[in-house]
Amino acid sequence: MSTAQPNASSSSHFIVDMVGINSMASQINAADFAARMRDFQASDEARQKLFADLIHQYAELQEDHSNLQNDYASERDNRRAYQRKVDSMERQVTQNQQEMDNNSFVLALIDGDGVIFQDALLKEAANNGGSEAASRLQHAIRDHVSSLYKDSGNWPIMVHIYLSLDKLAQKLSSVGLLRHPAEFRVFAQNFSINQSLFSIVDVGQGKERADHKIKEMLRTFSNNPTCKHIVFGACHDAGYLLNLEEYKHDERKAARITLLESTPAYRGFAELSNFHRTRFDGVFRNQALPDWNPSMQTFVPPAPMNNQLYRTTRQNSDSPIPVSSSNTPTTSSPTTTASSLATPVNGSGDSSWAKVGKGGVLPDQPISIAAKTNTKKKYAYYNASGQRLDEQLPSIEQNAKVALDARMKRGGKNLCNHWHLNNGKCNNGSGCYFQHEPKLTPSELNALRYKTRSLACKDPSCENVDCYLGHQCAFERDQGFCPFPDTCNLRSTHGMDKHKYERWDEYGNQELLTAVRTR
């Protein structure tokens, strides 16, 4: 069997066709592969970038996580430290509150020159009057405070009564409430002994001494958190209104103060509506002391000695002290009556009782049976508000004024006011810059007083009887108006009450010059 041989011509054509197809296929795949390669490269780059971004973000998250962990740990420590501090402070506050509660007290401040104990208590002054007065006052304050606070049962009560003991004793004796002034010292001692925190404080003689102490005590303890309540017994005196004014609109502080009324309160206290009010009529008089008791028995000094006078002293003695008077003529009678005591020692003939202190107290005059002498006293005058008033000076002589100005001009320096107007006394002595010698004539002294009166004294209630500075505008006092309202050194006194209400002598004795105003 013969095998057919392929046609050479057809084989060559097949090979040519296959080569062409392969060539075309190679051209097509190369382009496609290049495109695909570029796609793969872009995809790889995108994947690499994605991986890089993921790694970066993961690193940032790790750092943030680490920071948050640190912050959390720090905040946790701070919170725990803060909590420990809060717990410590709460314990401290609780401890302080307990200590404050344990040390809480009630304070009573009483102006004893005007708030006077009941007659029955004073008449028993030599026995148990003072002790009974302390017990009554303690119960009265306790009952009042208990009505205001639920937890006040254990609060101690502190009572300070400020007064001029000897002057008030003389006054009480003069109206028949004491048999002898010395009994009041016994009363005060028994009062203080009965209650360990009760005291009657003798402020001595002098204007506004009790006022000064009471005002300072009020200022100090009104801001003391352990002082839960203050009973303020001085509603008879308008001088305290200014000190209470600062609490008038502070309801919290005003609620901690009770105004104790005895005699009718001064009208200004009625405006203090935020304050509590009370009366202790079982302890204190509700009427002022009388000026004089005509039924008072004649006072006989105990066990008098020959050629000796008895007087009530300012010292803390329990009985009158004899004062030698061998050179003083005496009468044959050993007694001193109320009418003889009513006459001032200066022999002015004024038979009215001088009143001392806010409650009207007899001045500390010697109980003397010696012949009266007509010695001239120096006085300081005040209006009803306690402001110092100046007496009008004699008319100035122009020649003296010219001589005064010429001397200062010639000497090149002013005169020493203190030396010339204070009896030759100057604290600076020879080192004083101002002129001393020679002394001025009376008319020149008067001219100098005119000059010094134009300078304002810093104390509107000045107690220095010899003060040569001005306390009120002379123009307004004498003419009714001041021609220099804006430049006057004493313009702060413009409009003040010019009426003389009381006067105090150089020894600290007071005398009312007008009838006591209805309050």
For the chain, helix (H) and strand (E) counts, in that order, are 13, 12
- Report pTM: 0.47
DSSP letter assigned to residue 247: T
Half-sphere exposure at residue 158, Cβ-oriented, CA atoms within 13 angstroms:
14
Domain range list for the chain: 101-279, 389-512
pLDDT (tens digit, 9 = 90+) per residue, 370-390?
444 455 788 999 998 888 999
pLDDT above 50 for 140: yes
Residue 361: beta bridge partners?
356
Of 35-44, 222-231, 325-334, give the range with the top mean pLDDT: 222-231
pLDDT above 90 for 259: yes
Per the rule left: phi > 0, alpha: psi between -120 and 50, beta: everything else, 469 is: beta
Sheet holding 388-389, edge to edge: 388-389, 379-382, 502-505, 510-512
More confident: 71 or 339: 71
Amino acid 368: pLDDT: 39
Percent of the chain with pLDDT over 70: 77
CATH fold group of domain 101-279: Rossmann fold (3.40.50)
pLDDT (tens digit, 9 = 90+) per residue, 297-339?
433 334 333 333 333 333 333 333 333 333 333 333 333 333 3
* Amino acid, single-letter form, for residue 217: M
More confident: 96 or 55: 55
Cα gap 339→91, rounded to integer Å: 70
Percent of the chain with pLDDT over 90: 28
Instruction: With cut-offs at 50, 70 and 90, classify the pLDDT of residue 472.
Output: very high
Q: At which residue do the structure tokens 């200022």 appear?
A: 219
Amino acid 199: pLDDT: 94
pLDDT above 80 for 18: no
Rg over alpha carbons for the chain, rounded to the nearest Å, is 49
Amino acid 303: pLDDT: 38
What's the whole-number average pLDDT of the chain? 78
Amino acid 280: pLDDT: 95
pLDDT (tens digit, 9 = 90+) per residue, 477-518?
888 889 888 889 999 899 899 899 889 888 778 888 865 443
Buried b (16+ CB within 10 A) or exposed e, 310-343: bbbeeeeeeebeeeeeeeeeeeeeeebebebbbe
Nearest-5° Cα angle at 66, 65 to 70: 115
pLDDT above 90 for 404: no
pLDDT (tens digit, 9 = 90+) per residue, 267-297?
788 888 889 999 999 999 998 888 654 444 4
Amino acid 389: pLDDT: 93
Residue 421: beta bridge partners?
none
- DSSP element (H, E) containing 379: strand 379-382
pLDDT above 90 for 138: yes
Cα gap 194→199, rounded to integer Å: 10
